Structure 1
């Protein structure tokens, strides 16, 4: 095991060769079954190291700025900070978190499109100057609260498969960029670059071509106003797949070489969030209640596929949309439940639904899935739960946040050192014997 800062409230289990994530989950479930059955995460921080190596191999020299809202747990931020990654923050609390890591203000971007004046003033006091803007009212507010701000104009992207512009909440048009530059001149605010964002749900990579071309137009427009722009932020939208990363790079690289060559002095950055953390975290939840309904009304197409006397099960788990599944309120769940206990291959599967503990009608995790019959106390595993699930969470109905257990293999630790860990950083780490052989008290310390 090793922890980072001397006063950190967590540590990382270093796994012996041959030990796996499944071994860690098994051990944690064994302990929790005897001590309270609280939901918990296991975070394989070695995957962050691998993702960064992959990024450097494919996307360099584009510098990543990690969106803190994606996953703000201390282990994640510490690892990414150690790897030299910048941070994109959307609030005062996020800026404070990364400042506590010793990250320089130049490596922090304030990206919230709707900023509170008090938080703009906080950024000014902290020396965090680079921030995004997409309308004149926001620009005037920034000018009043942070005269030394350096703005990235956030431009909207266009889905070329649709007849009209995507229904984006944020991002300005090319036409309005001229107006914003006029306002910036009037208020004495610097504009230093352009930002755009292509959603990871966008299937047309040609959208990047249009966005980069639009960004070039804004850079040319800025020259007319005397602004010296040197930052292009191509946003997030990276799923974590190496194939998708290579496809994006194949599309954008030729255009970047033409419009923003190295000699132009423009620094190209990106905001990969779920790319780094999604696959690194696995969530284990416990079934706390169960209902059986033989006459339950099923979704269209399911009713005909089952026998009339076949039961339908509703399971309630000790985590929900007011906790780790908060993103379920706005998007489709990107993972399926896996039953932890062993069951026979020919064991019958039943139509099932999963609900959180709040008894709220919105707290549905999975509407319909096929599972063997489970009992109260059984465990379900959700992988790919590292993105959008580990930030600020609700205290609805005295909801307990899941514990977090961090792990890393010795080989990943070696890769971290190969990635350039300095001796000054390494003195903050410590080692103990492998976590797999130790009791739960000695094996991990946790961050709630």
Structure 2
């Protein structure tokens, strides 16, 4: 509605796309985590969505943070009232300058999975608290991180012996079953492998006190995954309380995916002319949609999740001809939706059923746009990154969010 008023007044770029972030959705996910996994401390994966209000809310709720770079560490510490002990530098292959930067920032916990990393750490930060990242089966995940990170079990003894030789403090074991894991049983297998690494560590002379179960938690199977994880921990780490083992995790998309939705404006349309002839649509196959819509965000912006995160998005109509009401039973057409750049790979949705009356100036909505979207958006072709509008929703959740943010703001005065 505001965009329509601004456009009528001739304001440039009045119809630009925007996110709506419901911070109460983040709060509800945190409550869900505490209910299902009360003994596992969440360290939010900042890379997933480094939104400043999300970070402030989670900091106020007492979570830790999984950071992968000096920039992320600086951002988390920069919001104030977050002690460096609440950060794990969970990047197994770091630049020497980044290790030195973590030391200056007071961040002690960091991961490794190779001998060269041990030599670097010994040289510049010998007092670090090291966490050995092991390789797990991530074949059922959207993003297979094992292709890049993780020490196979056969290499664990050699790495720990080398760490012992260098007099480095290895405090525990971590794993990551892959981002977007749809096979809950992958966590059970990973916990079993972690137990093996713990036992090897004991034989080498370490008494590990930390188990990091990583990320990969999905919204739609979270309860099942949490149950599998609890049972595996009870089976393989039945002595965890006796030994004083702390368990943490690195959830990312679980917290923010559903909290962000995107509104995009239809800025152009290619379709059959009214007289029954068609515009030039060379290059299109016969079985492709004959109506093409162009919106003002695309795969170089918020929809980079399609290329990098293997996501499939589903557009729906937000407003039609100035109205939020879409008549039931409206005729639809097979359509495709494209981003605003001049690159032909900028396809948001190759096949969608949209109302036949959808036209330039109407708005489309996209749900579940909070994970790995804004964080990787670029300004290719000179297009701006979509802005975020915040809400805390209504009811008791909204009041709790306001209270947490207010309390955190008071705690950070002076930072």
How big is the shift at 1:313? 1.2
Structure 1 residue corresponding to 2:22, chosen from 37, 44, 51? 44
Considering Cα pairs closer than 8 Å and 6+ residues apart, tell me whether 1 or 2 has the greater RCO. 1
Cα distance in 1, alignment partners of residues 180 and 285 from structure 2: 25
Q: Is structure 2 residue 383 aligned with structure 1 residue 399?
A: yes
Runs of 4+ in 1 over 6 A off after TM superposition: 295-300
SS at match of 2:374: coil
**What pairs with 1:278-427 in structure 2 (closer than 5 Å)?**
278-292=257-271, 302=287, 312-341=290-319, 342-373=325-356, 374-408=358-392, 409-416=394-401, 421=404, 425=408, 427=410
Unaligned residue ranges in structure 1 (runs of 5+) = 1-26, 304-310, 430-448
Q: Is structure 2 residue 97 aligned with structure 1 residue 118?
A: yes
Q: 1:403 to 1:240 in 2, by over 3 A?
A: same
TM-score computed with the length of structure 1 as normaliser? 0.80
Cα distance in 2, alignment partners of residues 346 and 263 from structure 1: 63
Cα distance in 2, alignment partners of residues 166 and 423 from structure 1: 37
Structure 1 residue aligned with 2:185: 206
SS at match of 1:125: helix
Cα distance in 2, alignment partners of residues 288 and 149 from structure 1: 53
Deviation track 1:118-139 (CA, whole Å, cap 9, x = no partner) reads 1111101111111111122223
CA contact (8 A) 1:296 1:312 kept: no
Cα distance in 1, alignment partners of residues 366 and 407 from structure 2: 37
Q: 1:403 to 1:159 in 2, by over 3 A?
A: closer
How big is the shift at 1:200? 5.3
How big is the shift at 1:264? 2.0
Structure 2 residue aligned with 1:108: 87
CA contact (8 A) 1:32 1:38 kept: no
Structure 1 residue corresponding to 2:62, chosen from 60, 64, 84? 84
Unaligned residue ranges in structure 2 (runs of 5+) = 273-277, 320-324
SS at match of 2:65: strand
Structure 2 residue aligned with 1:439: none
How big is the shift at 1:343? 3.2
Q: CA RMSD in A?
A: 2.7
Pairs aligned (count): 389
Q: 1:40 to 1:161 in 2, by over 3 A?
A: closer
Q: Which piece of structure 1 moves more, 49-58 or 331-340? A: 331-340
TM-score computed with the length of structure 2 as normaliser? 0.86
Q: Is structure 2 residue 257 aligned with structure 1 residue 274?
A: no
Q: Is structure 2 residue 217 aligned with structure 1 residue 238?
A: yes
How big is the shift at 1:38? 1.1
Q: Which piece of structure 1 moves more, 144-153 or 78-87? A: 144-153
Structure 2 residue aligned with 1:253: 230
CA contact (8 A) 1:41 1:402 kept: yes
Q: 1:177 to 1:320 in 2, by over 3 A?
A: same
